[in-house]
Structure formats: structure tokens, C-alpha cells
Amino acid sequence: MSFEVYLLTVIGMGLVTYIPRWLPLIWLSGRDIKPLFVRWLKFVPAGILSALVLPPLLVNPATHEICLWRPEFLVALPTLAFGWWSRSLGGTVIVGMLLFFLAGKLL
């Protein structure tokens, strides 16, 4: 590939990343936003996180069926409980890694 193709690719990727973030900022700046809409927006991060995290934990990649007995999901539950209880990111990561290692050996 030539330098021009790489340059156009990087510029295109920058635009594709920048424009969706820029448009709502420009469109919503200076406007009064209804409190119901603001309240709804507070749920967006949790919804996006759930959409990113839950499918790999619950869906069997071979059959595309939901399975509650996947090792990833079984490890995620006590790891989530530990994180909720301890409020420690480092401790939660360590507990999750140890539990995943043990699940790989036992299951």
C-alpha cells in the first residue's frame, strides 16, 4: 500500500471517530435538555457495558445458545460479588484471574 492510502485511511478513521462525538456536542450545546432525557442518559453507560460484557459470558460461541453453566459466567459471579464487597479493582482482577485459572483446571 502506498503512503497516500495509509494517510487517507488514518484521516478517514479519525473522521469516523471524531464526527459521532462532535455532532451531539454541537447539536445539544446551548439547548435546554429535559430532565427525563438527562435521567435516561445516565443509564447508557450501564447498558453499553452490559452489551459488551454479557454476550461473551453467557453465549456459547459454537452453538450461539445462552448457557448459564459456562466457566466464564460461573467465575464472573463470585468475582462480581468480591468486587462489590471490597470495592478494590486490583483485588477483583486478582480474584477473577485466580478463579478463572481454577475453573480451567477443575471444569
pLDDT tens for 23-65 read 888 888 888 888 998 898 888 888 888 889 899 999 998 899 9
| Helix locations, the chain, DSSP H | 3-28, 35-41, 44-58, 71-86, 89-106
Percent of the chain with pLDDT over 70: 100
pLDDT at 7 over 90: yes
Q: Chain-wide mean pLDDT for the chain? A: 91
- pLDDT the model gives residue 15: 93
- pLDDT the model gives residue 44: 87
pLDDT at 100 over 90: yes
Can you tell me the distance from the alpha carbon of 76 to that of 50, in angstroms, rounded to the nearest whole number?
13
53, 58, 63, 64 alpha-carbon torsion, rounded to 10°: -50
Q: What are the backbone angles phi and psi of residue 66, rounded to the nearest 5°? A: -75, 130
Rounded mean pLDDT, 10-35 = 89
Can you tell me the distance from the alpha carbon of 7 to that of 67, in angstroms, rounded to the nearest whole number?
44
